[in-house]
Structure formats: structure tokens, C-alpha cells
A and B are shown apart, each in its own frame.
Chain A
Amino acid sequence: MKKSVKYSLALVLMLSLAASGIIILSPIKAQAVTTTLKIAQGGDPITLDPYDSWDSASNDVILNIYDQLVMYVPSTLQFRPGLAVGWQILPNTTIIFNIRRNVTFHNGDPMTPYDVWWSLQRVLPLYLRSALFNSSYINNATANPHHWNWSEYDGDRESFVWLLFEPVKDIRMADIGFWGNTTFTGENATAGDGWDEIVVEFSEPFAPGLSLFSYAATSIVNWKVATELGPHGMKFAPVGAGTGPFKFNSWILNYKVVLDKWENYWGQVPHVDRVEFQTILSASSRTLAIKTGMVDLLYPESADWYDLKSDPNIETWQEAGLGTRYISFQCLQNVTGRMFGILSNTTVRKALSYAINYDEIINGELFLNGLATRMTQPVVPAIEWAYNSSIKPEDEGGILPIYNITKANEILDSLGIVDVDGDGIRDIKGWTNSSDDFKLIYGYNIGNAVRERVGTLLKDSFAQIGVDLEIQGDEWSVFLYDKIVNGAYDIWMLGWGPDYIDPDTYFYPLFHSKFIWSTNGAGVNISSVDTMLEQARAETNQTIRAQLYKNVTNILINEYVWAWCYIPDNLYAWRTTVTGFKHSPLDQMDDLEYVEITPSAGAGIPVEVIAIIVGVVVAVAVIGGIAYWRKGAPA
């Protein structure tokens, strides 16, 4: 056979292959379009079992699979009826929820008050749970063979949020007027037969009680499904367990969680057919993903914010958040194994507060990139009634320290802490017996870029006031559970997120002396603060509470226990194909049922073009190879 004939045959073969590829391809393109909302997350969810969740990746998924008794009006901090159509708050210690009727779980089961009761008791401390199960009016339930087996669940593991539910004394199903003394039908109770109230009793007055029932952890699950699936199933594939707008489809570990639209949702039926939560660990990868249209919605990186904002295909939302970030000083006089002292002096803390470049931390591109506001006090402005708006930084005419090296130097000089030996570092002999040089340790957790960079920044500014700073990175658990609580650092940066929308969560665990060695890492030990915080917790009059919190705030600010750093903004970014996204002030992605998505032409080169290119390249390569082989190795 002639060579040219062979080559042309090969060419025809290749081209027909490429063509057949396109033909095979076309039916796929022609398939009915399902609308999919793709969301990028920075980490895989830990669990899809609500009672066990604490991380934001899990929460975002859980909030869309399940509903809670109390939910938020989209984009606000106002409560709206969720699976409870209404509630009554009886004086001081009791909340009665009226359970919504005609709600069905994803597997078609109707939701009953028993499901509600069963789901709520799961988050309680263990001792309360067993007490509830043993109490007389639910004996029938404990006798049930399908009863949830605690020991199955990693031993007697408690919910991660159980501590918050310690004030709860009792949760029971009830009918108003017949509390506790009617015949109980246990899990067979259905909505509508009189058993559609859930009563929650607190052991002490607890002002923020209602918000406990809006947590992802208190989501209502189908108890039958949960019992059948067992802990492992609930964690990884809670099929039919929720009542939320989306039902679980699949979870490919470390890759994505897929949820499908739930047609019979009691509220707004979702517009999109499918939601995918994709795990993309690297921050820059996430930014690229939304820019190229691989995902539709995410929490953007502050560093890339302005790129996203200026992108015509992307919409963004920014508002002040509810979390706080502060630099804490070790205020304790004496810690076992380590002598402190210098930072127990309020004036020294004040001097250091002036050596922190707040402006760079808030506006620097490597830090918050302008996407934060200065924190002025423990509580955030969103909680208006307890927020003292008259406290302002010095450059705005207030009293809070701003970055002012000269002032910091003056204060230290006036204290008599000066550089004696001329090495550029102030000497503190006589102040403490730890060392002569004024040397401090800054701790951060490895992997937290902002905290690490703050260390670099502090090192530089502190050098200018004659203070030597050692930067020490530790693994997260060591950082939190070992170093901070044992006073191994002098200064460190931490964040705080509210457990509930009430000033109590911004004060009580952080400044009450009861929590020194745990959440009160700074070691704030002021008896008047303790008394006022306890008073405010039990008080129901908002005016009195506000005054108490404002008093505490004044004391803390004048004591310089923390350097009040910033309040990060909540950031969302979504592609313009997405409409109706409700940005929650709680920095979470619930309410995805309102989202609509218009299928776009798709970014990048069309698949057909790629197919032709690949086909031609392969053909050329093969023919070239044959030609070369023929030339190179004559037969």
C-alpha cells in the first residue's frame, strides 16, 4: 500500500473519531437543565447530625437540611416562627412552644411533638437527659425498643453545646391546662391530638433563653430515622431526617455535600433543584473558583474583596459582624511556674495599648483590608441597647488608645522603665524577677495568618518602644488548652463569637473571675465586675441590665485588660446569576430556599471546541508519530 494512502486513511480515522466524540457529547448537552447552586466552603463539614455540630461548615449544611423551633427573619436578627408557630414566655423561667402542624420530614413522616422533644433533649447535659428519660411521664418512651441507645454514640458523648443548656431544668410535651397529669401516649402522639406544646423550664432566670432554640444544634430531627440510622448514619448520610428546604443527597468526603430540593417544604419551596457545598481548602482557590464561575456563592477572603467587588459578574455584601477580635494581656500577678508582674500593672498595659497599629490591622491589605471596624468595648454595636456609643478612639475624640509610639514611650519613661544597659531594650529589674530585659511572649496558633502577621507587626512596633517581643507559634489545641489557660504567653490575639444574641455572652464567660484558667484567659479578677455580671444575668429589666453592662465596660476599658482591636465584617459574594440571596447577619448561609439561579452560558471554552482541538492534536500526534517511526526505524 502506498504511504500517502496510509496517512490519509489514518487522518480520516482520526477525524471521524473526533467527530464521533462530538456526537456522543451532544445528547449530554441537550439534557434537561437542573439548576444547581454551588457554594465553596473552606473546610469539609464535621458532621451532619445537628446536635453534634459546632463548626461553621457543618452549620451551613445543617441549617438547610433541618429547621429549628425559632428561626430568623431572613437578613435580620429578628426571630420568626420556625417549627414552632408561636411561643409564650411565662415570667422568668418558662417558655411554651406551639408546634407547627402538617410538617413532613424528607421521608414523608409527619413531624410530631415527640420528634421535637426527642431532638431538644439531645443537646442537654447528660445528667439532665437521663433524668428526663426516667421521669414518670415518659416511661412509655423509655420502654420503646427503638429507643436511642446512648452507648452507641461514642460512649456517653454529650453535645458540644451542652454547656449552654445548663440553665435548662426540664423539657416536656404538654397540653396547656393538663400539665403533667394526663395519660401520655409517648412517641405515638401526633400533632393535633392535643399534644402540640413543648414546655421548657429553666432552673434560674435566663434572659437569652429563647435564642437557644434557634441554634443548628437544636434542629428538629426525625427520631425514628435517627434511631434507625444510628450515629454513623446521622453523621454522614441523614437521609429523611430533616424537615428543611433541602434534603440530603450525598456527601463525598473532602469534596462536596449535595442537597436536593424538598418539594413538600412547609415554607418557601426552594427555587433551585440542587445545592452543592464544595470543600476548597485554599483561600486563593476559592477566589478563583467564584471568578471563573465554578462556584456561585461563598464567604470571600478579605484580601481578594476588592477584586470580587469590581468584577461585573459578582455581587458582594458587607456589614458589621457580631464577632470580636482582641489582643489580650496576661494581667495576673503570679502564675505557677512563671513569674509575671510587669503586665499586671495597668499603666504598662496602657502603654502597650498605644503601641498597637490598629489602623494597619484594620486597613492593611495583609490583614482585614478595610473590612472591619474598630472594636471599642466588649459588646458589638449590633446589640444597641447595651452598646455605649460614646466610647470612641482618640482620633475620633474619644479615650481609646490609638497607634502612638511617642505616647507609649512617654508612659513607659514616666514609669521609670528605662534602658539601663544601652542595648535598645528597656530594663525592668525591680519590677519582676523574671528577667532584666523587658521581654514579652506573643502567642498565636499556627495556620492563622492574621494572628501570625499581627505578631510580625507587634514585634516591629514594640521594638520602637524598647520592648522585645518573642513570637511563638503553637498548634491550635496547645495554643488554646495548654498555653493560654496556663499563662504561657504575655500577649496574644483571640476572637470571640456570640453564643446567643445577648450582651451576656460578650461579658460573662470572658471577664467573670470564675472563668480564669478557661475563657477568661486575661485573668480579669475584679470583684465589682463579677457582682455586676451576675446581677445582669438574672435581671429582666433591660434598662437596668444595660446600665450594669455599661458600668462593667467602663471599668474594663480603664483597666486596659484587652487592646480592643476590631469587629470583622460579614462578607458574602455571589455571582450575578444568583438572585434572592439572603445575607444573614449571623455569618451563616441559611435561607437558601429563596435563592434563584439563572443558568449562564458557562465560562470558558465550549466543550465542542475543546473536543475538536483535542481530536486534531491527537490525530496530528499519532500521524506524526507514525511518520517519525517509519523514518526512524525502517522495516
Chain B
Amino acid sequence: MVDDSYSKSYEDAENFTFTVDLPGLKSGIVERPRLQRFLDFLSRLKNPLTIIGIIIVAGLILSAVLAPFIAPYNPIAVDLNSKNLPPSLQHPFGTDGFGRDIFSRILYGAQISLFVGIVSVLGAVAVGVPLGILSAYKSGYIDTVIMRIMDIMLAFPSIILAIAIAMVIGAGIHAVTIAILVVSIPVYARIARGSALAVIQETYIEAARAIGASGLRIIFRHILPNILAPLLVEMTLDIGSAVLSLAGLSFLGLGAPPPYTYDWGRMISDNFSYQAVTRYWWQLTFPGLAIVFCVLGWNLLGDGLRDAMDPKLRLKLSKEAKKLIKDLKKKQRGLEKSNAKKPVRVVN
């Protein structure tokens, strides 16, 4: 786990987008079919960093699913004749002190990381989002109580809360999953509440109420779809931080029980010794790199999704409009350049 995870929600501020304020463009807005909308969305993911993210995540999922077929060795089979071998063709990432192939273990480790990441995030959403929406929809007393409880949970340093929860349940992957899940509930409750509050004030909710729609219908039909975008982005980013949390908790010895110790964080802590630091560097480096790549992949994907889902960009522009914007951008760039060329110095 990162030493501090309060930062999550502040990453939202990254979503800077270039907006063009042109009243004339409105004429270019047309209603588009769903397929078109989806294709647009995909085209907005074409950012190279996002593509790297997609590749990493896809690779991760593939290696988790295909691990039993593509892993050259059994991740838990002890082979005392090939202990502590450096990376070679037989063992691309070397072997550990039991002679287990680190490459195979890392492939299998993807299963644990994916499982913990996805399950804990889905679980947190399943608990946090209803709480947040309820809080926003009911307001008043219920809102206060729910949000106070969330405040209390946020006041804990997440790693310490997670350690405590994991110890209550007992060591193991399930315990760690639940710990991470519980720790991230307040984040989702807050996001859901914030987005829902914004939506509730819209006139169409007012209208729905006026025609007698039930509360559940309003929530499912109107509120939920409208808060989906920020949630999806947060979930993607959160899978990354869940993997980090898992690594941290495993490092402290709370992860999977032996012999299924091919969890990446656990591999680092199991191998972390003076010998490994001075001699068997591959035992520490590769599992760590696996964590970095995994988290990086989810973060890149999350960033890309956020940019792609940004409502400000969600306009289908006509050809003329696109051309107009292009010209405008060109002009502005030219202006900037000319400005930059001859700086006006204010001399006092």
C-alpha cells in the first residue's frame, strides 16, 4: 500500500481539457446513434499513453487467465536442484530459494492481483455507491449519519485500518480483499454522493418526480447512469491502488498463506534479505517491476478513460465545426509563437 492514499480523489484535477467557446458551433451538434457514440469514445482513447495502458491491462488479464497454459513451470513446485539461479533462457526471471521459477510465479501472481483489485473495487462500489446515493437522495438526518461514518473511516490511515481488518478476519487473500474493500468504501460513497447531488438538482429529476416516478426508478433510471462516468474512472484508478495496497499488506506478511505465496508483494517480502539485496537482485526486482507495470497500466487506462469520458468533449462535431476549431487552434498557436518571439520587457 502506498504510505498515504488520501491523494486519490485529488487526481481528478488532472482532467484538463481544451475547450473552445464558440456559439456558432451549436449548429453543428447533431444527435448520433449509439454505435457511433461508442466509436467516438474509442477514437478518443487513441492517446499513445492510453494505448500503452490498454496493452498492459490486456496483457495482465491474459497472463492471469492463461497462466496455467503459458507458464513454463508450476509456481509452487519446489526444485531444490535449481535454487537461486540468475535469469537465463530456462528461467527468464531467475529462480528463488526453493528453485521456483519467478517468471511463472509472476504470471500466476497476476491472478491474485486481478482478483483482489477487481473484487475489492466492485465490492466497495456495491457498498459505497448505494450509501452515497441514499445519502444524497434522502438528505437530512440519514445523510449526516452516513457521511459522518465515512469521515470516521477516512480519518484512519488506510494502511493501519487495513492491517487491523485483515487481522480480524485472519491472514489470507480474502481477508486482504475485504480490508482493501472496506478502506475504499468512503471514497465511492463520497463520489456517488457528490455526483448524485449535482444530478438531483437538475430539472429532469424534478419532472420525473412530478409525473410520479418512484424513488427507485429515479435512482436507477436517472441518477445512476449520470454518475457512471466518474465512477468508472475512479474504479479503474482504484484497481491500481488496490494492487499497491495488496503489495503493502503482503509485504507486512498478511497476504496469501503458503504455499500459494506467488503474490507479488509477498514474493518481495519473502525474498527480502541481505542475501537478496546483495546477491539475488532478480528475486526483488522482477516482482516489484510487475507491481509497477500493473499499477501503471491501470493508471494510464484510468487517465485515458477520464479524458475520453469528459462530458466537455462529448460533442459530435460537424465537419465544418472541426475545421473551424482547427483553424482557430492554428491561429492561436501562431499568436503564441509570435508573442514568444518578441517578449516585451517591462523595464523599471
A: residues with CB less than 8 A from B are 283-284, 287-288, 301, 303-304, 307, 357, 360, 364-366, 446-447, 449, 452-453, 455-457, 459-460, 471-473, 634-635
Contact = CB atoms under 8 A, between A and B. Distances in A.
Contacts, number: 64
28 contacts: A283-B273, A283-B274, A284-B272, A284-B274, A287-B274, A301-B273, A301-B274, A303-B273, A303-B274, A303-B275, A304-B274, A304-B275, A307-B278, A364-B80, A364-B97, A366-B97, A366-B98, A446-B253, A449-B270, A452-B258, A457-B98, A459-B76, A460-B77, A460-B78, A471-B259, A472-B257, A473-B171, A473-B258
Nearest first, the 7 closest Cβ-Cβ pairs linking A and B are: A366-B97, A460-B78, A284-B274, A287-B274, A304-B274, A456-B259, A456-B258
Interface string B245-277: 000000001000111010000000010111101
Contacts of A456: 76, 78, 98, 258-259, 261
Contacts of B259: 455-456, 459-460, 471
A448 to B, nearest CB: 11
Contacts of A304: 273-275
A370 to B, nearest CB: 13
A395 to B, nearest CB: 17
Given A304-B275, A457-B78, A473-B171, 5 more contacts: A284-B273, A307-B275, A307-B278, A365-B275, A471-B258
Residue from A366, A447, A453 having most chain B Cβ neighbours under 10 A: A366
Contacts of B84: 365
Contacts of B44: none
Contacts of B258: 452-453, 455-456, 459, 471, 473
Interface in B78-130: 78, 80, 83-84, 97-98
A284 B277 contact: yes
Nearest to A469: B259
Contacts of B346: 634
A449 B266 CA distance: 12
A251 B258 CA distance: 38
B80 A360 contact: yes
Nearest to B347: A634
B275 A460 contact: no
B43 interface: no
B19 interface: no
Contacts of A307: 274-275, 278
Nearest to A366: B97
A365 B83 contact: yes
Nearest to B80: A360
Contact of B348 (A360, A449, A455, A635): A635
Contacts of B80: 357, 360, 364
A471 B257 contact: yes
B341 interface: no
Contacts of B257: 471-473
B337 interface: no
B263 to A, nearest CB: 14
B319 interface: no
Contacts of A447: 253
Interface of B is mostly: loop
A446 B98 CA distance: 19
Interface residues of B, number: 24
A61 B169 CA distance: 38
A109 B77 CA distance: 65
B159 to A, nearest CB: 18
B315 to A, nearest CB: 38
B161 to A, nearest CB: 19
B345 interface: yes
A462 B78 CA distance: 12
Nearest to B348: A635
B38 to A, nearest CB: 46
Contact of A634 (B272, B278, B345): B345
Nearest to B77: A460
A367 to B, nearest CB: 9
A357 B259 CA distance: 16
Given A459-B259, A460-B259, A635-B348, A365 B97 contact: yes
A457 B99 CA distance: 11
Contacts of B97: 364-366
Nearest to B275: A303
Contacts of B261: 456
Nearest to B78: A460
Nearest to A359: B80
Contacts of A287: 274
B124 to A, nearest CB: 27
A533 B93 CA distance: 55
A357 B78 CA distance: 12
Contacts of B171: 446, 473
A618 B111 CA distance: 48
Nearest to B172: A473
A178 to B, nearest CB: 61
Nearest to A369: B275
Interface string B317-348: 00000000000000000000000000001101
Interface string B38-61: 000000000000000000000000
Nearest to A478: B170
A460 B98 CA distance: 10
Nearest to B97: A366
Contacts of A452: 258
Contacts of B275: 303-304, 307, 365
Residue from A357, A452, A460, A471 having most chain B Cβ neighbours under 10 A: A460
B130 to A, nearest CB: 35
A446 B278 CA distance: 26
Contacts of A301: 273-274
A581 to B, nearest CB: 22
A288 B274 contact: yes
Contacts of A357: 80
A283 B271 CA distance: 12
A632 B84 CA distance: 54
A287 B346 CA distance: 62
Contacts of A453: 98, 258
Nearest to B279: A307
Nearest to B167: A475
Contacts of A457: 78, 98
B251 to A, nearest CB: 12
A301 B98 CA distance: 18
Nearest to B261: A456
B305 to A, nearest CB: 36
B82 to A, nearest CB: 13
B157 to A, nearest CB: 19
Contacts of A360: 80
B222 to A, nearest CB: 49
Contacts of A455: 258-259
Residue from B80, B97, B259 having most chain A Cβ neighbours under 10 A: B259
Contacts of B345: 634
A460 to B, nearest CB: 4
B160 to A, nearest CB: 17
Contacts of A634: 345-346
B85 to A, nearest CB: 12
Contacts of A471: 257-259
B190 to A, nearest CB: 34
A635 B347 CA distance: 9
A333 to B, nearest CB: 29
B165 to A, nearest CB: 15
A471 B277 CA distance: 28
B266 to A, nearest CB: 11
A264 B5 CA distance: 57
A192 B83 CA distance: 67
Nearest to A282: B272
Contacts of A366: 97-98
Contacts of A449: 270
A460 B76 contact: yes
A532 to B, nearest CB: 39
A415 to B, nearest CB: 26
Nearest to A288: B274
